[in-house]
Structure 1
């Protein structure tokens, strides 16, 4: 997809556009005419002629038609989509650091299913590999009257070098396929359901393996978790854990591709001021990201990090990520690898802001993320990296979709205009124009403030 189409794609994401589609079948089995859901070869994307080992229909709990009369209030503790404001995931995928920001967007929208307008909540999925944008999606959820949660589709944009490469995986209930149960009201071991049920586009079948489990959360044990096994279109299985207050808690296996919750808002929020040690760490990180990164600057960040984690409770996953990224930064500085330095500093800065979610309002942290991406844009534009600049602008736009509603109207309009200017520069691959426009955005962000109640 070219850069102009990228702008249109991002506009869809920013606007959370939900087109209503035609009617298809309701809940139930979506299969090929032969009654076989074929395994898809992951490398080629082609059907293999082999059928998936599906569970018997008698085990499925998603065959009854859901009733949606209060669908936008999603309170199921194992998928609290309208209650959790943001969940941060960390881990590794494909041997690279992987990070996800899963954020509830304001308001509700509607999707038409068999003539019924179902209100949904929209969550923005923003996935970053090595700190850079890799995938964006809008996920649409609704809760049935019995307490089960249903997945009504997703609009997907897969990125490469900051530009949308394809939209594979996009589907919508009522148009592409049926609504799909993503969490039963009261899951039991042996329950089977299909969170995605459009064979050859998206398909997953889940079997609940265990319930009533206790898992180690970011800040202590979490009771009431469940473990499921998920069957994918390529015939492979993957375990996932869902936990109260978080929803999807972890996926994958240690030693391979693994994603797990770093922390969630408001689940992990702690009243009280930001610890002084965390403020000192943030100051050291911002100085490093904005200036020349040399061994002395890295040492200041590492010293501040060591002092902070010895004085405050830091989730194990975030500790591992910060240690890893600081080690990578140290190595890159020694090797005089400028690109490696820029990437590692970005990831360190992202980790630092995650720690603030424990203590500060989400709106404050979204504004800080906007500033982070503006600083990164200045660095990437100065180095002439057009792909990184395009990704930075996209990341700014996506974060702005979450932050705009908390910004005073006149200042929001000013930031809108500056982002349009940066988008135009990125589309033209004009890094000089982007470098020239970036400082004005940084100034505007520094003076932006949420509207007064």
Structure 2
């Protein structure tokens, strides 16, 4: 997940002695010979003339051609793309709160690899910085017959001030480059593979550092994790952890940039009723989001303290909720309207994440739609056209998930209301958006 935007700024430069025979075929077989992938400065996109310190070819485990008999069933425990419906990641990047919703979408996408039609599954990567949309990626994965998982490309959309700034990092196996192994069937220490290996577009090389590890999961120890080291185009390296039931588990550390699992479903789901203190927290957070005042912010803080004392809360989510509630109280006290809106939104997002433990994903997704529709009203009232554009994008992306399986007669009014909001956002017409948002809220109630 991390460093996705690096590909937008740099290109992969291969020495003439390397021939990747699969750039138009989907095969991963490479001809032997000296290889140089040049280091490229991230800030400038300029080649340095030096080669990346690539691992020996003999250590590569991704050089054979994978066979795909049943590719759409992805059950590899370290990359369980069809077993996990949604993973929420949190942390901070570039000093700002960072959040990712990684969600399995319905259906498949057929990708042609050397004449073979492979049905890949699509996972939506929706990244938010400071609560606002920063990146969307549609990632395509398939499992080979030996149990290894292959990355078949991604559509990337990078956002700035609510609108698409570029699509850097987009690639497709069989066209841009070869299929790329993202997880071996049974990784062993010293294994090397390239999750992205498309010359002049994207490139990463991974080395497995340790296997059979136990990590602290959201609700207890998780056995069977691995740690890998990832080499990037600028010559930098970072460690990542993958864990059964989650897939990618963490990148970075709590003292710098960090992207780590908050919780996943159904991995962390718990049967039974929603705790009363969580219901009370949801109500208090709703009041603080819709009308952030010193009183509502402090009531939300009190409700959070009560819930945290009464139930198990993932450590990362607890840290984030405490941080965001403190930020909300400070912003309200300082009469900082923009900071208040941002903190209230993050608090509301955190509260919905906590409900994933007890409620069906479909129910939480429906309430996320409601949250973003209310956020349109809030941002439109502030005259923030960039925020409104981002809200509408977040609505559309959430509806792509939440609307799956909705009967056509109920989905059509939602589609119409979203188109109306999109037109207002595209024209930077916050007054029109303010009028359209209540209509969306009404039809969302009818669709649920």
> TM-score with structure 1 length normalisation?
0.92
Shift of 1:333: 0.6
User: Can you list the C-alpha shifts for 1:134-182, whole angstroms capped at 9, x where unaligned?
Assistant: 0000000000000000000100000000000000111000000000000
* Cross-structure match for 2:126: 126
User: Can you list the C-alpha shifts for 1:356-404, whole angstroms capped at 9, x where unaligned?
Assistant: 0000111101100000000100000111101000000000000000011
- 2:393 paired with 1:394: yes
- 2:170 paired with 1:170: yes
* Cross-structure match for 1:338: 337
Counterpart CA distance in 2 for 1:290 and 1:245 is: 35
Task: Say which is worse superposed, 282-291 or 415-424, in terms of deviation.
Answer: 282-291
User: Can you list the C-alpha shifts for 1:63-88, whole angstroms capped at 9, x where unaligned?
Assistant: 01000011000000000001100000
Counterpart CA distance in 2 for 1:165 and 1:30 is: 37
Counterpart CA distance in 2 for 1:287 and 1:213 is: 43
- 2:188 paired with 1:188: yes
Counterpart CA distance in 2 for 1:205 and 1:401 is: 32
Shift of 1:25: 5.2
Shift of 1:199: 3.3
Give the 3 Å change call, closer, same or farther, for CA 256–29 of structure 1 in structure 2.
Answer: farther
The 8 Å contact of residues 30 and 197 in structure 1, kept in 2 or not, is answered as: no
* Cross-structure match for 1:237: 237
* Cross-structure match for 1:142: 142
1:73-152 equivalences under 5 Å are 73-152=73-152
SS in 2 for 1:363: helix
* Cross-structure match for 1:27: 28
Counterpart CA distance in 1 for 2:117 and 2:25 is: 14
Counterpart CA distance in 1 for 2:406 and 2:288 is: 27
Counterpart CA distance in 1 for 2:68 and 2:335 is: 58
User: Can you list the C-alpha shifts for 1:214-272, whole angstroms capped at 9, x where unaligned?
Assistant: 00000000000000000011110000000000000001133111110000010000000
* Cross-structure match for 1:15: none
SS in 1 for 2:101: strand
SS in 1 for 2:404: helix
Counterpart CA distance in 2 for 1:29 and 1:139 is: 24
Counterpart CA distance in 1 for 2:115 and 2:139 is: 21
The 8 Å contact of residues 22 and 113 in structure 1, kept in 2 or not, is answered as: no
Task: Say which is worse superposed, 155-164 or 37-46, in terms of deviation.
Answer: 37-46
1:205-216 equivalences under 5 Å are 205-216=205-216
Counterpart CA distance in 2 for 1:351 and 1:138 is: 23
- 2:318 paired with 1:328: no
Counterpart CA distance in 1 for 2:235 and 2:409 is: 52
Unmatched 5+ residue regions in structure 2?
1-21
* Cross-structure match for 2:415: 416
SS in 2 for 1:92: strand
Counterpart CA distance in 2 for 1:299 and 1:260 is: 28
1:234-313 equivalences under 5 Å are 234-291=234-291, 293-313=292-312
SS in 2 for 1:106: strand
- RMSD of the alignment, in Å? 1.4
Shift of 1:448: 2.1
Shift of 1:284: 0.8
Task: Say which is worse superposed, 182-191 or 400-409, in terms of deviation.
Answer: 400-409
* Cross-structure match for 1:440: 439
SS in 2 for 1:223: strand
Counterpart CA distance in 1 for 2:23 and 2:109 is: 17
- 2:376 paired with 1:374: no
Give the 3 Å change call, closer, same or farther, for CA 406–363 of structure 1 in structure 2.
Answer: farther
The 8 Å contact of residues 40 and 200 in structure 1, kept in 2 or not, is answered as: no
Counterpart CA distance in 1 for 2:26 and 2:100 is: 33
Counterpart CA distance in 2 for 1:29 and 1:309 is: 54
Shift of 1:22: 8.9
The 8 Å contact of residues 216 and 222 in structure 1, kept in 2 or not, is answered as: yes
Task: Say which is worse superposed, 87-96 or 404-413, in terms of deviation.
Answer: 404-413
Counterpart CA distance in 2 for 1:215 and 1:342 is: 35
Counterpart CA distance in 1 for 2:261 and 2:388 is: 28
* Cross-structure match for 1:319: 318
Counterpart CA distance in 2 for 1:287 and 1:439 is: 17
Shift of 1:407: 2.5
Counterpart CA distance in 1 for 2:313 and 2:31 is: 45
Unmatched 5+ residue regions in structure 1?
1-20
SS in 2 for 1:397: helix
The 8 Å contact of residues 252 and 259 in structure 1, kept in 2 or not, is answered as: yes
Give the 3 Å change call, closer, same or farther, for CA 129–431 of structure 1 in structure 2.
Answer: same
Counterpart CA distance in 2 for 1:329 and 1:123 is: 32
